[in-house]
Structures are given as structure tokens and as C-alpha cells.
A and B are shown apart, each in its own frame.
Chain A
């Protein structure tokens, strides 16, 4: 998987929006952008993924830059339950893309 860069940590207040950035300047045309999160003492949890267009689901929104070299995960109203490590991962089609490669991610702290 191509490399992604995320801030080590971010902080937010409860009920405020959170924008988690991810840079992936070496992304290729067939790479999907995936986000997973890992709550304390739990397994990773899928959040959202996209290829070129912005995506929305019940958990979050994914905004993808026009050149696809960066993306932003948006939590519209953070809750205490959103405190987790958030991982931005690129997945190509075919090859060995099943090796979902986790970096260090961004540790999100949500203040009450």
C-alpha cells in the first residue's frame, strides 16, 4: 500500500466537528482511500472509503481533494465515543492489497 501521513494526535470538544487530515501524495489512480478507527481495547472498525468523489455515511464524511493527494475525514459532531486512533489507508485493486497496512494513525481526544 502507498504511504499516508497523518498527524500524531488531535483534540476536539464534544459536539463540535472534527476534521482529520491525511496526505497521500504518491497515491495511484486505482488506490481507494479507506479510514478505520480503533477504540481503546477494541479491534479496528471500518469507517468509510472512497475513490474520487466525496462520500457520506452514517458515521462520517470523506472529503477527497481534486488531485487525490490528500483527504479529510469529517466527524460532524464528535462524541466521547469517537475518541480513538484513526487510520488512513490506501488500498489498490489486485496485487497484495489484502495486507491492509496500518500506520501510526491519529489519536483523537474528545473533551467533554
Chain B
């Protein structure tokens, strides 16, 4: 019963390159959330997706960042033309339920640590 799987665990990119972070939710979970944790800062919500739908992307930077959760396969967080300020830990979480229940519990992955040189 694997948990939330994120890969790669560590990714190094040069400025201007693209970064793709993948997240496979827990079995049976159809809701995915992405969070970012900048060095020495707290976790910030980025985006909430259900299968094939972006529900809320209010925490995503307006440019260069995109997310998807296709019908088949993992959720992808894509960062185009990375800059040094994108260096952070990116965490994915999943849940079996959406926003309707305050008892909804999120299961987090171990994170993907992006370093931009």
C-alpha cells in the first residue's frame, strides 16, 4: 500500500531550463494538491486538482508554472524557464475526498527538491 510517490526526489536545473515534477497519489485518491516550501519558510498552497480538472490554482505563480492531473498517469507540476528563486521543496499531497469535509486528511509525499544553478 504505497503512499504518495514523488519523483525525482532531487532535481538540479540551470537557469532557463524546464523542471517537471511528478506525483502519483495514493491508490484510490483522486484529489491532488501541490505545495511549495522555500528555504527557511513555511508551506504554501499552490494548486488543487482532480482528475483532468484544475479546481484552484490561486497559489500558482501566474507565469512559467503549470499543473495537470491527466486521466491516466501521475500529476505533473511543470516549471518553465526556471530561475534561482524557484529553488525549493515541492510537496504533493492526495486525499480520497475533496473540499466537502472538514475531516478530510491529506497524505503528503516526501517531496521533490529543486535546485536551480
Contacts and interface: CB of A to CB of B under 8 A. Distances in A.
Interface size on A, as a range, is 20 to 34
Interface in A47-64: 49, 51
Contacts of A32: 102-103
Given A98-B31, A98-B98, A49 B103 contact: yes
Contact of B102 (A31, A44, A46): A31
Contacts of B33: 98, 100
Nearest to B6: A43
Nearest to A101: B45
Contacts of A51: 102-103
Nearest to A97: B99
Given A42-B110, A91-B102, A102 B56 contact: no
A103 interface: yes
Contacts of A105: 42
A81 interface: no
A104 interface: yes
B108 A45 contact: yes
A94 interface: yes
B106 A100 contact: yes
A106 B47 CA distance: 25
Contact of B109 (A43, A92, A98): A43
Interface of B: 4, 31, 33, 35, 42-45, 48, 55-56, 59, 91, 93, 95, 98-111
26 contacts: A32-B103, A43-B108, A44-B91, A46-B106, A46-B107, A51-B102, A91-B102, A93-B102, A93-B103, A95-B99, A96-B99, A97-B102, A97-B104, A98-B31, A98-B48, A98-B56, A98-B99, A98-B104, A99-B48, A99-B59, A100-B45, A101-B45, A102-B35, A102-B43, A102-B44, A104-B42
